A and B are shown apart, each in its own frame.
Chain A
Amino acid sequence: MTKIIFISSDGNETAVEAADGDNVMRAALANDVDGIVAECGGSMMCATCHCYVDEAWTDAVGARADGEEDMLESAACEVRPTSRLSCQIRIRPELDGLIIHLPESQT
């Protein structure tokens, strides 16, 4: 299990244990973390799973997936260099302690 820390737009922190191989969007939903909508269930169709990867973690998380850039354009909140679709971040042991910031809204 890998630890992921979600920080909501108003500063609320929730730490969850997630299974490797799952994605960050799934980890948020399964643990009832507010702030991720994920309407398309991870099919990269909706951009309602937008998140900001903490600056300290961007290298470890890696680059955006094919097509992710284009989907992000329709995200409800500001897109920053650290923006990712959380359904496209696969959880692996190296990401233990990963900090994810959640935007104010998704729709």
Chain B
Amino acid sequence: MSYGVVIIGTGQGGFQLAASLRQEGYQSPITMVGDEDCLPYQRPPLSKAYLKDGRLDAIQLRPASFYERNSIDIVVPERVTVINRASRTVETLTGRTLPYEHLVLATGARSFIPPIPGLEAAKVHSLKTTADANDLRDALTTSRKIIVIGGGFIGLEFAAVAISLGHQVTVVEAASRLMARVVSEPMSETFRVFHEQMGSELVLGASVVEVAVGHDGLARGVRLSDGRSIEGDMILVAAGVRPNTELAAAAGLQVANGIVVNSSLMTADPSISALGDCAAFPCPSSGGMIRLESVQAATDHARTIARRIVGKSVTYDALPWFWSDQGTLKLQIAGLGQAADEDVAVVRPEGRQLVFRFKMGQLLSVETINAAGEHMAARQLLRHPSGVSLDALEARDFDIVGLAKALKEPG
């Protein structure tokens, strides 16, 4: 009998892998081990709807009956502490030993808490789990003056919710613009104007160098690198994440900004794969090693691994896409634009905004606001084998929907 697949992590990717394995007809045991005390759930609503309504049933990926019906064994809360590659077993905190034929690391990432004096002592918040979101919701029941450290997706989504609930919010971002790591300058600027109009105070280009802590252990404010001080009675640290790679590293697997895998998401040990937030994989378009934190990557990785385990030949070539809901703005991103050397911003009627990102005249990525049609056209075009040039888009006045239609029609 096969020992089947053991999945470490019961997040979005771990769940998708188990579901896809059964869908592909995999018959051996599937065991998921996770250190959160609940069934797999989606994280995106934690900084959106769940932050307000706290409905766990609305974010759970599937009910308990799904796992029973599909013979997927969920072991929670339980933490895997050791991987023994020689004996193909994993050990857990409570002393269990689980044998595997295939092991999949779906351990995700954890919130990064920067080494700022006072931060350790103060009761600050971060946002990764339902427990974090519940703490935040409780804290928001009284009127707050909130300081958000980090102007990325999660910090800004939270800021938009907190402002709409009537709290005061200051977002401190060390870079000179919002979401600098992942979006174009024109997009950053649109969101800067939007958040300021909603009432958030934004401090850009300054970092928090110290947190002032009161006798009650609560934060009272922060001091910035430019000498200024900001008062506040609640701090959310949203300064990025760190991949959970320690288990893999201890087992002798290569780690470089993530657990290193090949284009079929396999580590150097053919019986061990990694996926989602914790995996560094070859970018299908540039070939460079990348790590993504998105639902798309976690689920597409999972499907690829499931197909490989049932014996199909696979190469991971999915197009990255991402979204972020901030107030009334729905940002959608198709492709990866980090390497862009030219951005073209286009404004369309009804508040639709697009930024086309190019490298040497070839389209890399399209960022859109409140423009689902253009986003979908971009996803289709970016998958086109010969790519899309700046010239082709210019010739059509950046009517990407029209171009996608034209390329779809044969001839």
A interface list, Cβ under 8 A from B: 22, 26, 29-32, 39-41, 43-45, 66-71, 73-74, 107
B376 contacts across to A, CB distance below 8 A: 70-71, 73-74
Among B42, B58, B371, B372, point to the contact of A44 (Cβ < 8 A): B372
**CB-nearest residue of chain A to B322:** A45
CB distance from A105 to the nearest CB of B (A): 9
Among B44, B61, B66, B380, point to the contact of A74 (Cβ < 8 A): B380
Given contacts A41-B44, A43-B44, A43-B323, are A30 and B63 in contact (CB under 8 A)?
yes
Let me know if B299 is at the binding interface, CB within 8 A.
Answer: yes
**CB-nearest residue of chain A to B57:** A30
Segment 311-327 of B: residues with Cβ below 8 Å from A: 321, 323, 325
Among B61, B63, B303, point to the contact of A31 (Cβ < 8 A): B63
Let me know if B373 is at the binding interface, CB within 8 A.
Answer: yes
CB distance from B51 to the nearest CB of A (A): 14
**CB-nearest residue of chain A to B69:** A32
Let me know if B98 is at the binding interface, CB within 8 A.
Answer: no
Most buried by A among B69, B372, B380: B372
CB distance from A57 to the nearest CB of B (A): 24
A43 contacts across to B, CB distance below 8 A: 44, 323, 325
How far, in angstroms, from A67 to B352 measured CA to CA in the complex? Answer: 12
Interface size on B, residues (CB 8 A): 30
CB distance from A15 to the nearest CB of B (A): 16
Among B63, B321, B332, point to the contact of A29 (Cβ < 8 A): B63
Interface mask (B37-49 → A, CB under 8 Å = 1, otherwise 0): 0000010110000
How far, in angstroms, from A46 to B57 measured CA to CA in the complex? Answer: 20
Contacting pair A70 B303 (CB below 8 A): no
Interface mask (B230-247 → A, CB under 8 Å = 1, otherwise 0): 000000000000000000
8 contacts between A and B (CB under 8 A): A32-B69, A40-B44, A67-B372, A68-B372, A70-B373, A70-B377, A71-B376, A73-B380
**CB-nearest residue of chain A to B45:** A41
Let me know if B255 is at the binding interface, CB within 8 A.
Answer: no
A70 contacts across to B, CB distance below 8 A: 372-373, 375-377, 401
